[in-house]
Amino acid sequence: MSQDPSAASGSVPTYRPVGGHAVLVEFGATIDKRIHDQVVKLDAALKAAPFEGFVEAVPAYASILICFDPLVADHRTTEAAIAELLGAEVPQTIGAMREVEVCYDADLAPDLAAVAEASGLSPEDVISAHLSGDYSVFMYGFAPGYAYLAGVPKAIQQPRKPAPIRGIAAGSVLIAGPQCLVSTLTMPTGWWIIGRSPTKILNPASSDRPFLFDVGDAVCFRRISRAEFDARCLA
């Protein structure tokens, strides 16, 4: 992860117009925790004090998209409102800690052996390394509830597969490069499947919390046995 000079100097972000109803606010051009912290901070400030015409914000690695109602606001008023929010003191927001259960049994972890071989480790070492990662939610994307967690330890990082595999079960715990995610729908993936989780990241039945994570939250994985996994899935 290379450093971005704009992050170090704390200079004003770049504002880019997106069509007639949004502004993209860029804090840098790399995947970097310090850049992402600025995204999370502006997101929190917007939530605490939305400007007139604010519609929604979509935080990502190094940027945040701010959508506005073009009948009420425009790019200029939106940029001015954001500039004001950047200057304002916002209460230090600390992401919540979320726990995700994971079972690493071989039939739920079809790529665990391959990751172990490629890393020169035993499968148990891969599991220990995965559990020791310092994860946080950088963004959602690709499909509903797909939360990109950064923090996979270097020792087990693998590039994505050359071609995606279809029909991978929801709940699969996937890694690629420094990223980890728990899938929420049956979908193709080119990432490595090292376990499966019964923890629902996307839970439409929950009216108060349909998505487990907010961008900026910290995440830890907790290993569970097959018996616990089966019991959770039936619950």
Partner 1 sequence: MPRMSQAILAINFAGPHVAVQDGGRHGLMRYGVPASGPMDRTSFAAANVAVGNPAFQPAIEVSMGGLVLDCISGEVTFAVAGGGFIVEHAGDKRGAWMVATLRAGERLAIRPGHWGSWTYLAFAGHIEAKIWLGSMSTHSLSGLGGGRLAAGQTVTVADPEVRDGRHGPIICPVIARPRSALRVVVGPQDRFFSKETLSNFVSSPFRLSDSYDRMGVRLQGPSLAPSVALDMPSEAIVRGSVQVAGDGVPTILLADHQTTGGYPKIATVVDSDLDGFVQLRPRDHIGFLAVTPQQAIEHIRLRASTMSRYLAAVRDGP
Query: Which DSSP symbol is given to 26?
Result: E
Element (H or E) spanning 150, and its range? strand 147-150
Q: Is residue 21 at the binding interface for partner 1, with CB under 8 A as the rule?
A: yes
Q: Is residue 165 at the binding interface for partner 1, with CB under 8 A as the rule?
A: no
* Residue 10 DSSP SS3: coil
Taking the C-alpha atoms of residue 149 and residue 163, their distance in angstroms, rounded to an integer, is 22
Could you say which of 38, 44, 45, 59 contacts partner 1 (CB under 8 A)? Answer: 59
Window 195-224: residues binding partner 1 (CB under 8 A):
202, 204, 210-211, 215
Q: Which is nearer to partner 1, 133 or 145 (CB)?
A: 145
> What is the total count of residues that contact partner 1 (CB under 8 A)?
45
Beta-carbon neighbour count of residue 186 at 10 Å?
12
Q: Is residue 145 at the binding interface for partner 1, with CB under 8 A as the rule?
A: yes
Q: Is residue 151 at the binding interface for partner 1, with CB under 8 A as the rule?
A: no
Contact segment (CB under 8 A) with partner 1 among 18-26, 105-113, 123-131, 221-229 equals 18-26
CA distance from start to end of the chain: 41
What six digits make up the tokens of 93?
Answer: 């927001």
* Residue 211 DSSP SS3: strand
* Residue 137 DSSP SS3: strand
Q: Is residue 16 at the binding interface for partner 1, with CB under 8 A as the rule?
A: yes
Query: Which DSSP symbol is given to 202?
Result: B
Could you say which of 24, 86, 90, 131 contacts partner 1 (CB under 8 A)? Answer: 24
Which residues of the chain form contacts with partner 1 (CB under 8 A)? 16-22, 24, 29-31, 55-65, 67, 70-71, 74-76, 139-148, 185, 187, 202, 204, 210-211, 215
